Structure 1
Amino acid sequence: MKLSASIAALLAIASFSAVKAAPAVGVSTVPVDKTHTFTLTSNPSFKPNATRAILKARGKYARFSNDPTTFATGTIPMVDYEGDVEYYGTVQVGTPPQSLKLDFDTGSADLWFASTLCTSCGSGQTKYNSAKSSTYVSSTKTWSISYGDGSSASGTVGYDTVNLGGLSITNQGIELAKKESSSFQSDPVDGLLGLAFDSIITASGVKTPMDNLISQGLISQPIFGVYLGKSSTTNVGEYVFGGYNAAHVGGTLTTVPVDKSDGFWSISVSGLTAGSSSLGSFSGIVDTGTTLLILTNTVAAKVAKAYGATDNYDGTYTIKCDTSSFSPLVFTINGAKFSVPASDLVFEQDGSTCIAGFGYADMDFAILGDVFIKNNYVVFNQAVPQLQIAPVK
């Protein structure tokens, strides 16, 4: 799944899966020219590794209402090999367009990808070629990103047209990789698209894609809706820029204040329970780029005790594979309750051994990664800022 991280500016976590969504029926829409659904595609061969996910998240965070809806524009078949491990979406860059598979990460702000300038990029990656784009503009800026697991990437900054599912952003700052470490070389994606706030972007003076969608008037509302499918249910997912898809909202959307002082979508969780056990409160970052639910050490230990999980002393827990006797893990956020079902408390299984979907990373805050997000629809509002959250339908 996911969990990638950047020390320098906190880049995107290591695993997404994209999924393309089926057309929603009977849903009202904001004007077509002001909102767009961006479909995702899954990675069929990525194998989960909870320990690596914890390490990446630790590195990544080392330094510390209107009712718009939209139709999904199409369906793309997906195979979620190993189950809900990695999501990516296809983005077009340049003129004529070059298609790149990118992780969409609300835990980082950079837009970077492999390029033909790269001397160490993976042979399976698609490499953007600036020489083939008539709209490319070069610059003298450079960028460099380091990750908590020792991985890194660096290169040069340019500007080009970036198309997000039909929304054409002009003069978008893009970061062209000239070097990648081995973990990126073997990754099925070509790069990363950050959706956090621009205060943590590593390329100084560059606007994020969401900033440009807003400033260029390409969307009616400064929001994007996220639905991550999972293999046990719909097996599809989507990002909607400028609106959200009410067809995937399974209850009332609760408005949640966001603290963006550190550049992240940080919220307060006032309570966490498992059955009758109260497990504490904490602040947490809502991060589509992190696979697991990463808790503070104290809260993680309480959750583990509630489910009879044992500490592996690397940030992960071993848990019973049979979750039939487990209660869901319930979060209280701004007065509303949101659940992670018992079945999603297991992240990976190797024979008779199972690794939990929650862990810890020696941080004072939590990361509400895909284990949480795939069970709850989230609307990100950059302007306020705030989130709206509801159980998925």
Structure 2
Amino acid sequence: MKLSASIGALLAIVSFSAVKAAPAVSTVLNGSSHTFTLTNNPSFKPNATRAILKARGKYARFSNDPTTFATGTIPMVDYEGDVEYYGTVQVGTPPQSLKLDFDTGSADLWFASTLCSSCGSGQTKYNPSKSGTYKSSSKTWSISYGDGSSASGTVGYDTVNLGGLSITGQGIELAKKESSSFQSDPVDGLLGLAFDSIITASGVKTPMDNLISQDLISQPIFGVYLGKSSTTGVGEYVFGGYNSDHIDGDLTTVPIDNSDGFWKISVDDATVGSSSTGSFDAIIDTGTTLLVLTQSVADSIAEIYGATDNGDGTYNIDCDTSNYEPLEFSINGATFSVPPEDIVFQQSGSSCVASFGYADMDFGILGDVFIKNNYVIFNQEVPEVQIAPVK
């Protein structure tokens, strides 16, 4: 399942496959930092409709209808051919390893626990009684999702180790209940990287908040590179810096509007060749697979590519991309592209579904389809992002 959570809601992508070992990655980091390596899985069964519905549910409330710095690396999984990306994080003393979805579109850190009677049998369940650094609290949390699923539990505090970056006293949300849609999920939980104003556990700091306040990173940033299963299949999160080896060209600084708790930017235009669709606001969200646009922008792009509306937020599109031009986004004076081969998301026989869709919202979501083609550095304190094409 591709986990993503916000105050409003979430829908999940449920589908599983085997993963393969991480290839080696050589990194050059800017400042003191930590690197996560992502690995590839070439076998996937994507579902564009569910991806659109998940994004709709996630943003439902907007609907119109110097310490020692770590040098370790954590392997991460490119799950089901770029559908989602997750990695392993250690929690507690001695450490318990949990597979978490890193999500810039939510702020909660929660996962399955031994307190949970309904969590999936395949999930690793954090056991607070086995951690010498765990502290309980009277706080509770509850999340409801757009597809009717839900999770809830209790808040505790423990050491969370991001591959050597040891956060002490981190607020963690222990699931005591999960609905059935989570029970066969290979991911144990979620690590939110949005702003703490949308965290469901009131008063709890996000991991990024604590990395900054505990001086575990020298810069209040993290760099995100999402690899493609069709090429190298590797990627990484770098906390406290970024990896210039993956950047092709100049970084463009873009202001962030975080008034709603998200990494929201202004997109000046979206174009295909000489055809323009106009401006819109968009959230940069690693927890969303597709490009989820406003309906007017998505309809314009669909018309250019000759795609047909399926009526559920997705479009059918010609599987042959040889004559397609790239989809380009103009952002703060620079242009960032999604190449023709990434305009198709899913193929079933001779029919294909586009990697862009729409929801009944006043803003778009630049999900993994955008991010795997463009390196993004998130600066929490300014706030701002810096974007450059990937090598």
Give the corresponding residue for 2:222: 224
How big is the shift at 1:246?
0.5
How big is the shift at 1:45?
6.8
Give the corresponding residue for 1:313: 311
Q: Contact 1:19–1:228 (CA<8 Å) still a contact in 2?
A: no
Q: Contact 1:94–1:160 (CA<8 Å) still a contact in 2?
A: yes
Q: Contact 2:110–2:190 (CA<8 Å) still a contact in 1?
A: yes
2:258 maps to a residue whose letter is K
Give the corresponding residue for 1:157: 155
- Any idea what the Cα deviations from partners look like across 1:234-281, whole Å, max 9, x if unmatched? 100110000000011111110000000000000000011001111111
CA distance in 1, matches of 2:133, 2:74: 30
In structure 2, do the counterparts of structure 1 residues 339 and 2 end up closer, same or farther at CA, with 3 Å as the change threshold? farther
- Tell me the secondary structure at the aligned position of residue 228 of structure 2: coil
CA distance in 1, matches of 2:76, 2:238: 18
- Any idea what the Cα deviations from partners look like across 1:166-196, whole Å, max 9, x if unmatched? 1000000000001111221122100000000
CA distance in 2, matches of 1:77, 1:41: 6
CA distance in 2, matches of 1:71, 1:345: 38
How big is the shift at 1:378?
0.2
CA distance in 1, matches of 2:221, 2:354: 32
1:166 to 153, 164, 167: 164
> Is 1:147–2:145 an aligned residue pair?
yes
Give the corresponding residue for 2:24: 22
- Tell me the secondary structure at the aligned position of residue 136 of structure 2: strand
Give the corresponding residue for 1:384: 382
- Any idea what the Cα deviations from partners look like across 1:73-116, whole Å, max 9, x if unmatched? 558596754x2112101000000000000000000000000001
CA distance in 1, matches of 2:175, 2:96: 15
> Is 1:128–2:126 an aligned residue pair?
yes
- Any idea what the Cα deviations from partners look like across 1:332-369, whole Å, max 9, x if unmatched? 00000000001111111111111110001111100000
Q: Write out aligned runs for 1:1-393 (5 A).
A: 2=2, 4-6=4-6, 8-9=7-8, 14=13, 22-24=24-26, 27=28, 29-30=30-31, 34-41=32-39, 47-64=45-62, 73-74=72-73, 76=75, 81=80, 83-393=81-391
CA distance in 1, matches of 2:151, 2:157: 18
Q: Contact 1:377–1:392 (CA<8 Å) still a contact in 2?
A: yes
Runs of 5+ consecutive residues of structure 2 not aligned to the other structure = 63-68
- Tell me the secondary structure at the aligned position of residue 126 of structure 1: coil
CA distance in 2, matches of 1:217, 1:18: 34
CA distance in 2, matches of 1:260, 1:93: 29
Q: Contact 1:80–1:231 (CA<8 Å) still a contact in 2?
A: no
2:278 maps to a residue whose letter is G
Runs of 5+ consecutive residues of structure 1 not aligned to the other structure = 65-69
1:282 maps to a residue whose letter is F
Q: Contact 2:291–2:365 (CA<8 Å) still a contact in 1?
A: yes
In structure 2, do the counterparts of structure 1 residues 287 and 15 end up closer, same or farther at CA, with 3 Å as the change threshold? farther
Q: Contact 2:23–2:39 (CA<8 Å) still a contact in 1?
A: no
1:371 maps to a residue whose letter is V
How big is the shift at 1:39?
2.7
Q: Contact 2:123–2:183 (CA<8 Å) still a contact in 1?
A: yes
In structure 2, do the counterparts of structure 1 residues 51 and 12 end up closer, same or farther at CA, with 3 Å as the change threshold? closer
CA distance in 1, matches of 2:201, 2:334: 38
TM-score by length of 1: 0.92
Aligned residues: 382
CA distance in 1, matches of 2:251, 2:348: 37
How big is the shift at 1:24?
2.5
TM-score by length of 2: 0.92
How big is the shift at 1:291?
0.2
Q: Contact 2:77–2:85 (CA<8 Å) still a contact in 1?
A: no
- Percent identity (aligned): 77
CA distance in 1, matches of 2:239, 2:124: 24
In structure 2, do the counterparts of structure 1 residues 109 and 13 end up closer, same or farther at CA, with 3 Å as the change threshold? farther
In structure 2, do the counterparts of structure 1 residues 230 and 24 end up closer, same or farther at CA, with 3 Å as the change threshold? same
Q: Contact 1:348–1:356 (CA<8 Å) still a contact in 2?
A: yes
Q: Contact 1:43–1:88 (CA<8 Å) still a contact in 2?
A: no
How big is the shift at 1:48?
1.5
Give the corresponding residue for 1:67: none
How big is the shift at 1:146?
1.0
CA distance in 2, matches of 1:79, 1:107: 18
CA-atom RMSD in angstroms: 2.4
In structure 2, do the counterparts of structure 1 residues 291 and 123 end up closer, same or farther at CA, with 3 Å as the change threshold? same
